[in-house]
Structure 1
Amino acid sequence: METKKLKREITLMGALSTVMGTVIGAGVFFKAAAVVAHTQSAGLALFAWLLAGFLTICGGLTVAELATAIPKTGGAIQYIEVTYGKLPAFLLGWAQSIIYFPANIAALSIIFATQLINLLRLSNELLIPLAMMTAISVTVINLLGTRVAARVQSFTLVVKLLPIIAIVLVGLFIPGEVTVSLVNLEIGGDKSWLAGFSSALLATLFAYDGWLNVGNVAGEMKNPVRDLPKAIILGLSFVTLIYWAINFVFLKVLPVDQIAGNLNASSEAAAVLFGTIGGKVITIGILISVYGALNGYTMTGIRVPYALAMQNDFRFSPAFIKLTRKTYVPLLPAFLQLGIGCGMILIGSFDLLTDMLVFVMWFFSILIFAAVFILRKTQPDLIRPYKVPLYPITPLIAMFGGLFILIMTTVTQPILVLSGIGLTLLGIPVYYYGKK
């Protein structure tokens, strides 16, 4: 019934803009600090950005097969439920509700507050209060209604491309202060190559976050068989090129030790390129970009617990499906998401929060990659308008890349891994307790 209601109106250009708009966020400006800190090497840092883009493209092409075969509202949750059952699907929704979206909101609020303090020369003691005020303001905007939130999203979608374009175009054509070697993949500092590179790769993947949803438009595309793989390959390839280019510029105008661990590196690079006033203008553009990304995660995150409650399988469903009177926004999910996000602001840092959400989501991503193999065996008659190219090589690359990330993160950051797994497994008693 749901599939019949979908209108196939999205063209290749529409799908391409959706892919790029979903993926490009705040990470492109702020993950350079973590990547360079882990590698202490310009060449290895740039290689990490390229490899993360390649893994993202393989993952996007793999998920697109499921998206065209199961074009249902809910995306990844639906793929998990069809393949593994309701409990794993609930755990994905649970992990998104209590880890993924709140951690994104907390991390982006911290980044916004950090940049605002840097721009206005405020005291660092205001970081936590400003971050919380930022998260609260975006939630209030969303409670005013989807139309208001969508307008904010549309405005920031355009604005966020301006500082990227300005930095790349100017940075590539002016003489650099630093010589960047692209072939030197040696690691600096006292870390082993494997530990440093895996941590850098995990950091870059936050900037590519959002790729899991690129296949969600499949059911509304005019020609998904022809256009969806093109949109994924072109869109994610262009994103990879942009990310590589802007990080090349950062490394070209600032020394490695000035970028490593410095969340203000993008603003400082802009100041080098455009002068003090120009740098401040670019920083304002970056702030608007971050706020837009924060608004997007808030708007979509509110609807995950609402969608779970709409299944009406849980005792707490009636409370979670109540909408605001005039604006029809899920009220309790909004407050729950904001409360967890503010708690994470108090206890976490930008890099810690993003590493946790990337680890948890890549765990479920591997299950989704494996679902392509499972469904081809268990449901060979399932209509697949699009099939992943170079099967089984493409999904295997995505799976092995994900496994590498999980294994190395477990070795290098075991507490973070245990925290993510523990919070996810808490969903099991919640699931059974909440069922009717």
Structure 2
Amino acid sequence: MKEESKAGYALNVHQNGQATNHATKTPFNDHNTPKPVLRMVDAIVIIVGVVVGAGLFRTPSLVAANTGSSEMFVLVWLLGGFVSLVGALCYAELSTSFPNTGGDYHFLMRAFGKRFAFLFAWARVSVIQTGSVALLAYIVGDYISQLYPLGEFASALYAGLVVIALTAINIVGVQFGAGTQKLLLSIQFAGLLMVVIAGFLFTPSASELSALPSAEGNTTALGLAMVFVLLTFGGWNEAGYISAELKSGSRKMVHVLIISILIITAIYLLINLAFLNVLGIERMAVSDAVGVDLMRATMGEPGVVLIGVLVAMMALTSVNATIFTGARTNYALGRDFKIFGFLGKWNTKTSTPVNALIVQCLVALALIGLGAVTRNGFQSMVDFTAPVFWFFFLAIGIALFVLRKKEPNTPRPFKVPWYPLTPIIFCASCAYLLYASLAYTGVGALVGVAILALGTLFFFFIR
């Protein structure tokens, strides 16, 4: 007899009466599994919080420098939203067909087996998620250290404190963590609205605008521009890790993903149109901080202070969401591999994977320390994570094809439209970004790849 639990797990009751998790073939223990406690709005808030980060105030200038015209600048942001929506449709099929707290890890396990899934979980723990936590924390640390300098390692110190504090909040409980995310995101939206209002309603100061440098004869490199745009859109795939925790059931992940992508695209367009309206494509192309330049031109130095606080708050929002979702992969790793069994403990009182959160915090702190030694924390973490991230993103796209062939009889509440064209577009985008992340990054990329390769040593210990 089969029945569907509220968490989205398919249970199979054997002759001895013991229930097992059909997705992982492991004993189903009601006291050690996630419960459906998240509403749709909570899931949307988490995804938007992960994607819309402080990078929005850095990448527009890089995109402007590689597009050459306002029309092309707007077009590549629209294309970024389109490609992200295509990817979200692919994820919607995987998330609704195979709902599991393991997210990408679970999809890769079903498609390619435990060893490849383990390699992905290893990458999440050691490179992808922890590196993302570290680089986002560095953004907060960089801005706070400007206001309250504590020496040459101030940025790393503040970044470490941010990771510890937000990890503690998520250990307290999933509701408290999601509530913190909603508070941070509401502050973030208020700040973004301030930027949009300043960009469209305030008259720029002529003296401030004349003081800003202006580019002449911009070169056009649309492929590179798309790299920056899609990196800015990255993060919506975190929805896969909370598909089993939705109160309304995993089928609603389709709505969560589509609504999230539409909200994110609208935010990006409004912000970038505000930048264009005040600064123009030429000044954007040579700006190191378009948000600062916009606020200085429209509101003076008080606006500069406000934008600094906003960027820090946006980074905090993304750090909190990344910590929330990242620990779920660590939990899945411990659940399925005995060697890491201590990670697979779920605290039912707080509905959180406490051990997974603690380990994630420690690894992120180690990476923050590495960034402090290199004296270029943020850039080092970007180089470190990018190639590994896009390699596994490509693998997820391929997994959709594999699972269509491997498990054709699995119920699919949602099927990606225009198959196979849609997932082919998604895979091609991921393959290009994998190439770009190796071609345009520094030594940090090779370090990330080396740590990924180190994970293969554990293959000899996996039964």
Contact 1:39–1:187 (CA under 8 A) maintained in structure 2: no
C-alpha distance after superposition, 1:309-353 (max 9, x if no partner): 233421x54488699xx9983234422232123313433453453
In structure 2, the residue matched to 1:188 is 218
Pairing 1:246–2:247 present: no
In structure 1, the residue matched to 2:17 is none
Paired residue for 2:451, among 416, 423, 430? 423
Pairing 1:110–2:138 present: yes
Alpha-carbon separation, structure 2, partners of 1:153 and 1:290: 12
Paired residue for 2:392, among 317, 340, 364? 364
Normalised to the residue count of structure 1, the TM-score between the two structures is 0.82
How far is the alpha carbon of 1:305 from its aligned partner? 3.2
Pairing 1:84–2:106 present: no
Contact 1:224–1:386 (CA under 8 A) maintained in structure 2: no
Matches within 5 A, 1:278-297: 278-297=303-322
In structure 2, the residue matched to 1:236 is 261
Paired residue for 2:368, among 341, 357, 362? 341
Matches within 5 A, 1:18-417: 18-39=46-67, 42-118=70-146, 120=147, 126=151, 128-143=153-168, 145-147=171-173, 149-174=177-202, 188-189=218-219, 193=220, 196-219=221-244, 220=246, 222=248, 228-254=253-279, 259-260=284-285, 263-314=288-339, 317-318=341-342, 329-330=354-355, 331-347=358-374, 348-413=376-441, 415=443, 417=445
Distance change (3 Å), C-alpha of 1:138 and 1:69: same
In structure 1, the residue matched to 2:26 is none
Distance change (3 Å), C-alpha of 1:261 and 1:336: farther
Q: Provide the aligned length of Structure 1 versus Structure 2.
A: 418
C-alpha distance after superposition, 1:166-189 (max 9, x if no partner): 21234134556899xxxxxx9824
How far is the alpha carbon of 1:75 from its aligned partner? 0.6
Contact 2:388–2:449 (CA under 8 A) maintained in structure 1: yes
The aligned amino acid for 2:172 is T
Alpha-carbon separation, structure 1, partners of 2:363 and 2:132: 14
How far is the alpha carbon of 1:10 from its aligned partner? 7.0
Contact 2:198–2:295 (CA under 8 A) maintained in structure 1: no
SS in structure 2 opposite 1:381?
coil
- Quote the RMSD (CA, aligned, Å): 3.6
C-alpha distance after superposition, 1:107-143 (max 9, x if no partner): 223322333355x3x66x9464223322234314423
In structure 1, the residue matched to 2:16 is none
Alpha-carbon separation, structure 2, partners of 1:362 and 1:6: 29
In structure 2, the residue matched to 1:183 is none
Distance change (3 Å), C-alpha of 1:98 and 1:322: same
The aligned amino acid for 1:103 is G
How far is the alpha carbon of 1:382 from its aligned partner? 0.7
How far is the alpha carbon of 1:69 from its aligned partner? 0.7
The aligned amino acid for 1:267 is V
Contact 1:271–1:280 (CA under 8 A) maintained in structure 2: no
How far is the alpha carbon of 1:276 from its aligned partner? 2.6
Contact 1:199–1:409 (CA under 8 A) maintained in structure 2: no
The aligned amino acid for 1:146 is V
In structure 1, the residue matched to 2:7 is 6
The aligned amino acid for 1:78 is H
Distance change (3 Å), C-alpha of 1:329 and 1:375: closer
Alpha-carbon separation, structure 1, partners of 2:109 and 2:194: 44
C-alpha distance after superposition, 1:63-122 (max 9, x if no partner): 11011111111111000000001111111111111111232223223322333355x3x6
Alpha-carbon separation, structure 1, partners of 2:116 and 2:139: 32
Normalised to the residue count of structure 2, the TM-score between the two structures is 0.77
Contact 1:108–1:294 (CA under 8 A) maintained in structure 2: yes
Distance change (3 Å), C-alpha of 1:360 and 1:2: farther
Distance change (3 Å), C-alpha of 1:217 and 1:93: closer
Which structure has more relative contact order (CA 8 Å, sep 6+)? It is 1
Q: Which runs of 5+ in 2 are unaligned?
A: 9-35, 210-215
Q: Which runs of 5+ in 1 are unaligned?
A: 180-185
Alpha-carbon separation, structure 1, partners of 2:346 and 2:38: 32
The aligned amino acid for 1:266 is G
Distance change (3 Å), C-alpha of 1:340 and 1:22: closer
